[in-house]
Amino acid sequence: MKRAAFAALLAASSLALASPAAAQSDPLAPTGQWSVYSGGAAQLPPMGWNSWNAFALDISEAKLLGSAEAIVDSGLAAKGYRYINIDEGWWARRDADGRLVIRTDKFPSARQTGGRTSFRALTDKLHAMGLKAGIYSDIGRNSCGQIHSDDKANLPSGTVAEREVGLYGHVDQDIGLYFGEWGFDLIKVDACGIRGLPADAPKVVSGEFRALPPLVDSGSLGRTNIAGTKALYTQVARALERANPDNDFIFSLCLWGAADVRSWAREIASTSRTSEDIFPIWGRMLHNMDTALRRPLYAHPGSWNDPDMLYIGAGDFDARHLTEARSHFSLWAMLNAPLIIGYDLRTAAPELMAILGKPEVIALNQDPAGNQAVLAYDSDDVDILVKTLANGEKAVAVLNRTSEPVSATLTAAHLKFAADADIALTDLWSGEARRFRDRQELKLAPHETLLFRVKGSRLLADGHYLSEMPGSVNPAVDGVVAPEVDPLVHRAILPWAGTRVTREGPRYGGWGGAQADSTPYSEQLGIAGRRFDTGIGVLANSRLEVRNAGYRRFTALVGVDDSARDRSQPVTFEVYADGRLVTRSRPMRFGEAPAPLAADVAGAKLVELVARTPGAPRFPDPVTWAEAALRR
C-alpha cells in the first residue's frame, strides 16, 4: 500500500471510531441487526493441523502431505479435522510484478513451466483427500520468521523488496492469488511486520529490511495504534469477501491479544488469537487459556476466541503426561477454541491420537449452540467451567491448576440446576456415571481436569438465563472508553524472553468488558446490597445484542452495581425488540434497589439491551442485568 493511501485509510478509520456521527449519531441506538461477523465458514470452531509447532520454518510438501495422510488414515479427518495449514517457510521471494514465488526445493509440485510457481496442485490434492487447505501471511511487509529468526536458509531471499512477502501494499493481489488462483480455504494473518521494524531495529539499521513505524506495542495499549491496526485487518476481511463470493473461507486473525483486538475482531474475523504463542509448558497453557476464559460474550458462531494451537504431543503434554494432555484438550473444547493440532502426526503415539480423536470431547467443541463455557467458580487453584449445549444438557469441566492434589465441590448452583432433584454426571474420559443432589465432592490429581456431560432439572424451567447462552449475546457496545489490561491472566515466563526482562506484566486489553455472571471487573454482581449469582455485568453506556430463538418474554432485575465508583449519573435501562422500544426503567442511581423489567419479545429475532447515562463519564460505572433471561 502506498504511504498516502494508507494515511487515507487510517484517517477514515480513526474518524469512524472517534466520531459517532461518522457512523451513526448514537452508538447506543438499536440497529435491529446482529453485528457479529457472518462472513466465512466458521459457524463451528475450525479443526485441523498447522505446520508451525511441529516444523517451524522447516516445512516441506512431504511433511505437509505426510501429516495430511496421517489425519485421514487415523480417522481424525472423519471426526472433523479438515484444515491442513502451511505456516511460515514456504516463500522464496516476491517478483518484480508483485507475485509471490514458492520455494520449489521444498514444494516441488509448485514448479510450473515458464518459471512461475503455483500451489494449485497441492491444494487440489488436499481437496481430493476431502480436506481444506490453509496458508500463512503477515499484515506487515515482513513476517515473524524474518524478524525474529536467524535461520536464513528457510527464509525469503533476494533484494529488500523481494523479501517483502507480507500483505502490506499487496492485499488484493495476494488474497486473489491465495484464494482465486491457488485455491486456499483459510488464511492466518500474523502481525510481526507492524510491531518489529522500527527505524532503530537492528535488521533495519543493517539494511536487511525497510522500517515500518510500529502500529502495535504488545506490552502497551497506550503506545498501540488500535484504529490503524483494525483498519489494516479490515482491509484483509473485505478482500477475502471479494475473493470468496461463496463465503467458503476462514480468516484467522493472529494479533496475539494486542491492540485491544478483543473489542473488534468479532466484527471482521472468523477466529482471533487472544494471546502470545503457546508453548508445551503447563504454565503457558494456563496463560493462553486465561486470555479467553473470561471472554465468553466475545465469541460466537462465525467468530471465535483462539488461545492458540493444541500442543498435545510435546513437553508437558507428551505421551508421558497424558493427564495434562487430556486437560489441555478438555479446556480447548470447553472454550470453543479452534482445534488445530501442532504436532508431527507421522510419529504420534496411539495414546495421543486417542485424546485428539475423543468423539465425546470433540462434540463439546463442535456443539451447534456455540456457547463458550462460563466460569462458575474461579480461583488460582481450581476453576469450574459450565457450558450449555444445544440439546439442553450441560458440560462441566473442573480444573486443578496446581501441581498438588486438590478437593473440589461441584454444586447444583454451579450448573443452575435444582438442588432437590437428581443430577446425572457422565465422565467423558472414563465413561463413569454417577448421580447426586445438591453437591458432589470430587478429588483431582495434579493438573487434572474432570470433564462431565450433565443432565438435571433446570432452575429456570421455562427459558434460559442470558449467561447460559453467551453465544447468542453480543456486547456490540460494551461501554469501555479507555482499554485496560487484564490482571487476571496467569503470568507465566515467556520462553523467548525468560527473566531477562523486568517483568511479565499484564498486557491484554479487555479489563472492563462485559462478563457473564460477574461484573466487568470479575466481582460478584450486586445491587443495593443484594447479591446475584446470575446475570450480565457490563459498563453503563452499553448495548447488548441478544439473538432470540422463539422466546416470548424477557425478564431481569436492573440497577447500578455496588462496585460502581463514579456514582454521579443515573442509568436508564431500555429493552428493544427488532429495534422497537418495549420497556424502559426510570433513571436509577447507585444504592437504589434493583428494579424489575419485563418485556414482550414474541416474534422478535433480536433483543437489544441498552444502559445509558445522560452524560458521558470518562469511566462509566458497572451496571447489572441481574437474572436476565429469555423465557417461553
Q: Which of 277, 383, 517, 621 is catalytic?
A: 277
Cβ count within 10 A of residue 354: 14
Distance separating alpha carbons of residues 498 and 513, to the nearest angstrom: 30
Maximum pairwise Cα distance, the chain = 77
- Backbone phi, psi, residue 307, to 5°: -80, 15
Distance separating alpha carbons of residues 137 and 194, to the nearest angstrom: 13
Strand partners, 425: 434, 454
Q: Is the dihedral of CA 397, 265, 509, 608 positive or negative?
A: negative
174 as an active site residue: the answer is: no
Q: Are 560 and 49 in contact (CB under 8 A)?
A: no
277 as an active site residue: the answer is: yes
Q: Is the dihedral of CA 463, 465, 467, 468 positive or negative?
A: negative
Separation in Å, CA 542 to CA 172, 571, 620: 35, 11, 9
Q: Which of 138, 185, 190, 562 is catalytic?
A: 190
Exposure of 580 in the CB half-sphere (CA atoms within 13 A): 10
Rounded to an integer, what is the distance from CA 288 to the centroid of its chain? 11
Q: Are 256 and 271 in contact (CB under 8 A)?
A: no
Separation in Å, CA 83 to CA 130, 189, 324: 10, 15, 25
Distance separating alpha carbons of residues 289 and 274, to the nearest angstrom: 9
Strand partners, 424: 435, 455
Radius of gyration over every alpha carbon of the chain, rounded to an integer in angstroms: 24
Active site residues: 190, 277
